[in-house]
Amino acid sequence: MKVTIVGAGAVGASCAEYIAIKDFASEVVLLDIKEGYAEGKAMDLMQTASLNGFDTKITGTTNDYSKTAGSDICVITSGIPRKPGMTREELIGINAGIVKTVASSLVQHSPDTILIVVSNPMDTMTYLAHKSIDLPKHRIIGMGGALDSARFKYRLAEALGAPISDVDGMVIGGHSDTGMVPLTRLATRNSVPVSEFIDADRLQQVLEDTKVGGATLTKLLGTSAWYAPGAAVSALVQAIACDQHKMFPCSALLEGEYGLNDICLGVPVILGRNGIESIVEIELDQKEKDHLQSSAAGVSAVNGLLDV
Ligand SMILES: NC(=O)c1ccc[n+]([C@@H]2O[C@H](COP(=O)([O-])OP(=O)(O)OC[C@H]3O[C@@H](n4cnc5c(N)ncnc54)[C@H](O)[C@@H]3O)[C@@H](O)[C@H]2O)c1
Ligand SMILES: O=C(O)C[C@H](O)C(=O)O
């Protein structure tokens, strides 16, 4: 199993580290445009192998796509992160050009790959990948919902005073400060609705904190987060590589599902060796449907800024 990660920055390197520690891939290639950077990150990570007990071979390259040839899975994390006070959508001007070029270079060398898009604004960058390269729709996946759901579970556990392993919950919709749809109605503690443990106001606070999870960290760190994003990407890569058929909310190209068309948006999908094995259509109540529709409208408006 060969995995390429483009962008050896904070998220790309974190993702490579988690993949290596889980030890399911034979090879991880890090590629970056900055001279020597990916080579340095790869060497540093390889010097953790004997300490962390993994056999995954990590190599780095400065923009040489021939080294990525034959990758089973490619991850795009290249591009700029936001600074405090910015939205993800403001990154479109620089990141669209980067994602378009990187995606087509990757597919040129790995025509059978499954592509995971991470760069922001992620739903729009995933849509751009669909529009600009020739891969079947189940092989282009945007990562956002897995991260947002992990943050939702963190906030739920905090509010409930429960261990995180006790709680379950999912965030669908756009990966943006306003577009996320945390499904509070369906969140549980050991199968019991969380509304049995906390009141509506506290649950609303959990929802609001979840939606601004990325912005909160950006304010604290001065740049956007990388540990949980890297872990979330590595979970998707593992689900595909190991054909786990696990369900994650991912940004998928919708063709009628949830009443939406010609848009990439976070919905529950089953991930396996073919990428998106299926899109799961869950029954939403009217309020959730309305939130998903307005989230889609927001993403569509940003997609409209693309030159595709
Ligand atoms: N989808 C998500 O949930 C999620 C989570 C975290 C970060 N992100 C996004 O991921 C992106 C990366 O974030 P980061 O914190 O790792 O940033 P970073 O600045 O640490 O790393 C980005 C790397 O991309 C490289 N790069 C830029 N242009 C390139 C090109 N054309 N080819 C190859 N490499 C190139 C840079 O040299 C840099 O090393 C940002 O757009 C950020 O918003 C998304
Ligand atoms: O918040 C960001 O800009 C980065 C990423 O999308 C995140 O949610 O951490």
* Per-residue pLDDT reduced to its tens digit, 290-300: 999 999 999 99
ipTM above 0.95, yes or no: yes
pLDDT in tens, 12-34: 999 999 999 999 999 999 999 99
Domain end point (choices 144, 163, 190): 144
Do 72 and 7 fall within a single domain?
A: yes
SS3 state of residue 220:
helix
Position 270 pLDDT exceeds 90: yes
Do 97 and 174 fall within a single domain?
A: no
Do 196 and 236 fall within a single domain?
A: yes
Q: How many domains does the structure of the chain reveal?
A: 2
* 88 close to ligand 2 (CB < 6 Angstrom): yes
Catalytic residue, from 109, 130, 138, 175: name it: 175
Q: Which bound ligand lies closest to the C-alpha atom of 125?
A: 1
CATH number at residue 183: 3.90.110.10
In a domain, 113, yes or no: yes
Do 123 and 260 fall within a single domain?
A: no
Listed in sequence order, the DSSP H helices in 227-285 are 227-241
Mutate which of 32, 41, 98 for ligand 1 pocket (most atoms within 8 A of beta carbon): 32
pLDDT in tens, 219-239: 999 999 999 999 999 999 999
CA distance 115 to 129: 9
Q: Which bound ligand lies closest to the C-alpha atom of 103?
A: 1
Percent of the chain scored above 90 by pLDDT? 99
Domain end point (choices 126, 144, 162): 144
Do 59 and 174 fall within a single domain?
A: no
Using CA positions, which residue lies closest to atom 5 of ligand 1?
A: 229
Do 118 and 55 fall within a single domain?
A: yes
Cα 80 to middle of ligand 1, angstroms:
5
Do 87 and 178 fall within a single domain?
A: no
Whether 100 contacts 278, CB under 8 Å: no
pLDDT in tens, 171-191: 999 999 999 999 999 999 999
pLDDT in tens, 37-49: 999 999 999 999 9
Q: What integer pLDDT is reported at residue 44 of this predicted model?
A: 98
Do 132 and 195 fall within a single domain?
A: no
Domain end point (choices 113, 144, 175): 144
- In the residue annotation, 175 being an active-site residue is answered as yes
Do 140 and 150 fall within a single domain?
A: no
Mean pLDDT of 52-60: 98
Do 149 and 295 fall within a single domain?
A: yes
In a domain, 267, yes or no: yes
- Structure confidence at residue 303 as a pLDDT band (50, 70, 90): very high
Position 122 pLDDT exceeds 90: yes
In a domain, 308, yes or no: no
Position 308 pLDDT exceeds 90: no
CATH number at residue 86: 3.40.50.720
Q: What integer pLDDT is reported at residue 9 of this predicted model?
A: 98
Write out the H or E segment, with its range, that includes residue 171. strand 171-173
Terminal alpha carbon distance of the chain = 33
Using CA positions, which residue lies closest to atom 42 of ligand 1?
A: 81
pTM (two decimals): 0.99
Do 237 and 154 fall within a single domain?
A: yes
Ligand 2 atom with minimal separation from the 228 CA? 9
Q: Residue 93's domain spans which residues?
A: 2-144
**Tokens, residue 185:** 């109605």
Do 99 and 27 fall within a single domain?
A: yes
